[in-house]
Each structure stands twice: as C-alpha cells, then as structure tokens.
C-alpha cells in the first residue's frame, strides 16, 4: 500500500498553466479517504490540502501542502503519515522547491527537488530506510522537459484549466516528475454531472485519468475525479483503482476559498 496516497494525488493532480486565477493563500480542503477492505469500502484516513504565504529574503512564495494520516484506530494495522509540499510563484504556480516525506507501514522515503527553470534541470535528493533501519541517500541532477512539474504543483494547477471550453472526449497527455522519473498521465473530459457532497449538492466537471508509462493507476475508466463547475474548481470526489485494490476520496469541508 506504499503507493496509496500517490494514487489519490494522481487522480487529483493533472496540469500546470501560465497564470494562477484560482488558488489563494489560506485555503483548506479536508477529505476522508476510503479503501476497499474485504469487499467493504472503509474510511481509513484523512487527507488535507492547505495553502499559505511564505516570505523569503528575495520573494513571497505560496506553499502548497498536502498531508495524509490514517485514523488512529487503523494505525496499528497500517500507519500512514505522509507529507507532500511545493513552494511556488503565487502568480504562475511555477515550482521552486518540492518535498515529499512519507511513512507508510514502516516504509520511509524522503524526496526533495530544487528546480532551475533556466536550465530545465532539477537537483534531486532522495533518502530511504534500509531493512536494518539505517538511511541511505542519493543526489542527482535531472534534465526535464520544460512542461514537467512536480506532483503537488500539478495537483493545484489543474484548477486553472479552462474546462468549460472542453467537449466530452477531449483528451490531453501531461507529464509529472515522480521518484526521479517523468510520468505521462492522460486526462480525458467526460461530462458535467451534479452530485451530492458533504458541502452541498454540486454541479461538477467529471474527468477520467490514466497512466501511459506506469502501473500505479489501473484501467482507462477506473480513475475519476469530480471538480466543482465554478470559479474555484475544487475536487469534491474521486475514485481510484491501484494494483492492490480500489478506493474513494470524499470532501468533508472547504474554507478560505478565493471565490
């Protein structure tokens, strides 16, 4: 289950665009993550997505933070404490620094990317825990395509898509950097659909997501996401299928929205 939260993120995160018209500092989205256990869809974790302003000596950045934690009653079964975050330009969502710190059932990994957009390169730092508990570390310089972004940046940038201009069946391939490899994701607009959620009944854009060079997500129509068909375009519901099972993500609350 070590790719569990990554599957959630892939179902939600899709695209990066030139201007940020949707994401503001102070936004907080809270979700319940469910997993199919022995044929029963069971609530096992809370997922949070939060934004905040960070001032440095040279500029003001927007911190995009995503966390996942199993509910305490499941910690003895499979404890998850995951952090994904990216520091970006608040106007363009261009990433400068990305961090991933995950602890899932005894499995530990840390990843950090420092972006250099002038050279289209990333300085990568990776740490993993060996079986004896010691940590080994590797550092690499990666050459990227100009459009490749980290997972968290794409997670938020999708909401700047002009989905209202799309027709059912329209499809686009996108590239995300994950575990030092560029992963190609295919995104297809399905339709508009109105669904009931914990924050009310919402008209939504329904999207289907699949991977072209990976095995985290299974099937071309098994991974779906519903974004509110308004100016905020927040993800309110998602369904996913991975090699070890399937699950859902349902929104619990949304605050600090721009509109």
Range of lowest pLDDT (3-12, 70-79, 91-100): 3-12
Handedness of CA 16, 20, 21, 23 (dihedral sign): positive
Range of lowest pLDDT (16-20, 161-165, 189-193): 16-20
Q: What is the pLDDT of residue 244?
A: 65
Q: What is the pLDDT of residue 212?
A: 74
Q: Which tokens sit at 152?
A: 């968290």
Number of Cα atoms under 13 Å in the Cβ half of residue 131: 0
Q: What's the average model confidence in pLDDT over 125-150?
A: 90
Q: What's the average model confidence in pLDDT over 91-97?
A: 94
Reply yes or no on whether the pLDDT at 216 is more than 60.
no
Q: What is the pLDDT of residue 228?
A: 97
Task: List all residues 6 or more positions away from 232 whose beta carbon is below 8 Å from its beta carbon.
Answer: 22, 159, 254, 257, 258, 259
Reply yes or no on whether the pLDDT at 17 is more than 60.
no
Q: What's the average model confidence in pLDDT over 167-180?
A: 88
Number of separate helices (H) and strands (E) present in the chain:
3, 15
Average model confidence (pLDDT) across the chain: 87
Reply yes or no on whether the pLDDT at 2 is more than 60.
no
Domains of the chain: 4-253 (2.40.360)
β partners of residue 154: none
Tell me the pLDDT band of 193, cut-offs 50, 70 and 90.
very high
Reply yes or no on whether the pLDDT at 221 is more than 70.
no
Q: What's the average model confidence in pLDDT over 234-253?
A: 88
Q: Taking the complete model, does pTM exceed 0.75, yes or no?
A: yes
Greatest C-alpha distance within the chain: 54
């Amino acid at each position: 289950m070590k790719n569990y939260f990554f599957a959630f993120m892939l179902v939600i995160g899709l695209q990066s665009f030139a201007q940020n018209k949707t994401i503001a500092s102070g936004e907080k989205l809270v979700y319940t993550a469910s997993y199919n256990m022995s044929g029963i869809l069971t609530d096992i974790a809370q997922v949070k997505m939060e934004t905040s302003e960070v001032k440095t000596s040279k500029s003001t950045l927007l911190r995009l933070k995503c966390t996942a934690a199993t509910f305490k009653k499941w910690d003895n079964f499979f404890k998850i404490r995951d952090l994904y975050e990216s520091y970006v330009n608040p106007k363009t969502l261009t990433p400068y620094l990305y961090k991933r710190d995950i602890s899932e059932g005894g499995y530990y990994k840390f990843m950090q990317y420092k972006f250099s957009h002038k050279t289209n390169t990333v300085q990568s730092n990776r740490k993993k825990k060996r079986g004896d508990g010691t940590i080994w570390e590797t550092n690499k310089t990666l050459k990227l395509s100009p459009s490749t972004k980290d997972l968290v940046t794409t997670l938020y940038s999708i909401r700047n898509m002009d989905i209202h201009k799309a027709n059912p069946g329209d499809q686009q391939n996108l590239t995300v950097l994950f575990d030092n490899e560029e992963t190609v994701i295919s995104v297809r607009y399905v339709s508009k659909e109105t669904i009931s959620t914990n924050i009310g009944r919402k008209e939504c854009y329904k999207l289907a997501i699949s991977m072209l060079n990976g095995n985290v997500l299974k099937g071309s129509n098994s991974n779906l996401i519903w974004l509110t068909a308004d100016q905020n375009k927040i993800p309110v519901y998602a369904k996913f299928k991975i090699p070890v099972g399937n699950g859902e993500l349902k929104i619990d609350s949304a605050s600090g929205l721009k509109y």
